Chains A and B, each alone.
Chain A
Amino acid sequence: MSTSRAAVPVIQVSGIRKTYGSTVAVDEVSFEVDDGEIFGLIGPNGAGKTTTMECIEGLRKPDRGTISVLGLDPFRQVYKLQERIGVQLQQAQLQKRIKVWEAVDLWASLYKKKSIDGERLLEQLGLVDKRNAWFMNLSGGQKQRLFIALALINDPEVVFLDELTTGLDPQARRAIWELVRGIRERGKTVFLTTHLMEEAERLCDRVAIIERGRIIDIDTPQRLVDRHCPERVVALITDDPAAEASFRAIPRVESVDRSDSQFSIRGRGEDLVTEVIHCLSENRIRVTDFRMIVPNLEDVFLKLTGHSIRD
């Protein structure tokens, strides 16, 4: 999933800190986002994702540290910046009785440069038959699609999406993911936050894991998994009495857990599966079920923080 990297990062954040009273929301956060990638800031609720994003958007001023977006200082040059970025805020609302087309029309009038065709945008986002509907009567997915439309109306270079799919059903969520991929296809950079590991895994080129205001690690989802959770598990079911001893004899295997006829074989490296299969055929062990459990970002998070992201 590597994308072409330009020399100058689109977003540069270095050493920012933000406190609210005695609570430290964000501490020593640094990262860079490259041109044309989908970059995800992931972590549980309250980890500092939104605060970080709003500092980058120029809506908040960090107590310390520097931020540069498209070469601009987001806080001092916020109006210049806002011309060139598109923003979707977490839990934002519009006027209850504003019509879809009115919102698009208003937003289109706010930017200096000529905005893109609002009607076409509504078409692309599947909102054409809702153009006369009031905001309050839209479904959750339709509202989010409208917010995406508003974030794209000025043909921005960077798009910020904060918890875009929270509260949506799986089907609406997949549709939104497709839209976000479409944004990248148009050559734009996407910066998003999510607490859904599946979303980060499916959508992001690179992710930064944030917890209690600090960045723990940054990389592609695959490399994060390889680095922090190299362990693989093969789960199988067999009635063969000699199976357990054979499994333990495999060199790469670190542990074998058994409960009745169910086995969990743990080991490191991608060769584990091959070796287990080899062992099965060599010893003519008959299995009735065979699965591989591949670790994902969820496991990485658990490993790095000692607790599940859902806690």
Chain B
Amino acid sequence: MLRGLWKLTWIEIKVFMREPLGAFGTIGFPVLVFLVVGRAVGRSLPAPSLATSGFLRVNLPVLASLLIAVSSVLSLVTIISIYREGGILKRLRATPLRPQTILTAQVIVKLILTASTLFLMVLAGKRYYPVNVQAPLFGFTIALLISTVSILSIGFLIASIVPTARFAQPIGAAILYPMIAFSGIFMPLSAMPPILHAVAQGLPMTYAVSLLEGIWRGDAWSAHMGDVAALAFVFFACTTLSAKVFRWE
């Protein structure tokens, strides 16, 4: 079943890098912004005190990671719509390639891009921010992987439903970005009005944020099994649903 997967993945990466804004837009640009802001703000920051550093130390890295994850999910949604509209998906399906292989290759490409962007950000962060990166990077990477795969499955569901490539990106953005806003990253869930609180608890992004922040802070995994379960549920629900409604052309 994996026949062709690595070759397809590798070609997809190369093809993506050849796009005018491909490499720079997804990897270079976020890192560049990070560096510029870092240079401008980094040095003028006071030594982190407990009061000021809460957002910088925990929320900011989590927010940055989530934004990068969401932007690769959006690019996945767009690429699938473009491939569908151009008949590329159909052409690939008329070979012994399994449908799962075609889609898995896309997901791997996005995961690799997300990972490399984050890796560069961490490197840049170490250079310019006085914040001590003492977070458990390995655990955080796993947590981010779980979150990203879960968000990717939402993206897949969107890609399965959106009618044309032109709508894919805006619709995806309109669904995913508000989820971040209500996820509790800007405001603790407990401080939200009851209605918002209820909404937040229905959004998968909330569990991603809770998991990511917790792991970054150094919580034990056992404290976040609920989050992992919620994200896994989202993944299975969205994947099952996409498998039913996905259109190849």
List the A side residues contacting B87 at CB < 8 Å.
89, 91-93
List the B side residues contacting A95 at CB < 8 Å.
11-12, 15, 83, 88
Of A103-111, A212-220, A238-246, A256-264, the stretch lying at the interface with chain B is: A103-111
- The yes or no answer to A310 lying at the interface (CB within 8 A) is no
Q: B14–A94 contact, CB under 8 A?
A: no
**Secondary structure dominating the interface of A:** loop
**In the complex, how many angstroms separate the beta carbon of B248 from the nearest chain A beta carbon?**
8
Interface size class of A (residues with CB under 8 A): 20 to 34
User: Which residues of chain A from 287 to 307 have any CB-CB distance to chain B below 8 Å in the complex?
Assistant: none
User: Which residues of chain B from 1 to 25 have any CB-CB distance to chain A below 8 Å in the complex?
Assistant: 3-4, 7-8, 11-12, 14-15, 18-19
**In the complex, how many angstroms separate the beta carbon of B25 from the nearest chain A beta carbon?**
15
Q: Which of A89, A93, A106, A110 contacts B96 (CB 8 A)?
A: A110
Nearest-neighbor residue (CB-CB) of B87 within chain A: A92
Of A79-87, A123-131, A277-285, the stretch lying at the interface with chain B is: A79-87
List the A side residues contacting B88 at CB < 8 Å.
92-95
Q: A93–B86 contact, CB under 8 A?
A: yes
A→B interface (CB under 8 Å): 57, 59, 79, 82-83, 87, 89, 91-98, 102, 105-107, 109-112, 134
Summed over the interface, the residue pairs from A and B with CB atoms below 8 Å come to a total of 59
Q: A59–B8 contact, CB under 8 A?
A: no
Interface size class of B (residues with CB under 8 A): 20 to 34
**In the complex, how many angstroms separate the beta carbon of B191 from the nearest chain A beta carbon?**
47
Q: How far is the CA of A87 from the CA of B94 in the complex (A)?
A: 7
Q: B11–A98 contact, CB under 8 A?
A: yes
Q: B7–A92 contact, CB under 8 A?
A: no
Q: A97–B18 contact, CB under 8 A?
A: yes
Q: A105–B91 contact, CB under 8 A?
A: no
> 12 extra interchain contacts, Cβ-Cβ under 8 A, other than A59-B93, A98-B11, A106-B8?
A59-B90, A79-B96, A89-B87, A89-B91, A92-B91, A93-B91, A96-B15, A106-B7, A106-B11, A109-B4, A110-B97, A134-B18
List the A side residues contacting B18 at CB < 8 Å.
97, 134
Q: A107–B90 contact, CB under 8 A?
A: no
Q: How far is the CA of A109 from the CA of B11 in the complex (A)?
A: 12
Q: Which of A79, A96, A109 contacts B7 (CB 8 A)?
A: A109
Q: How far is the CA of A111 from the CA of B152 in the complex (A)?
A: 29
Q: B95–A110 contact, CB under 8 A?
A: yes
User: With A79-B96, A95-B11, A134-B18 in contact, is A109–B3 under 8 Å at CB?
Assistant: yes
List the A side residues contacting B4 at CB < 8 Å.
106, 109-110
The 8 closest A-B pairs by CB, nearest first: A93-B86, A97-B18, A92-B91, A92-B87, A87-B94, A110-B4, A82-B96, A95-B15
List the B side residues contacting A91 at CB < 8 Å.
87
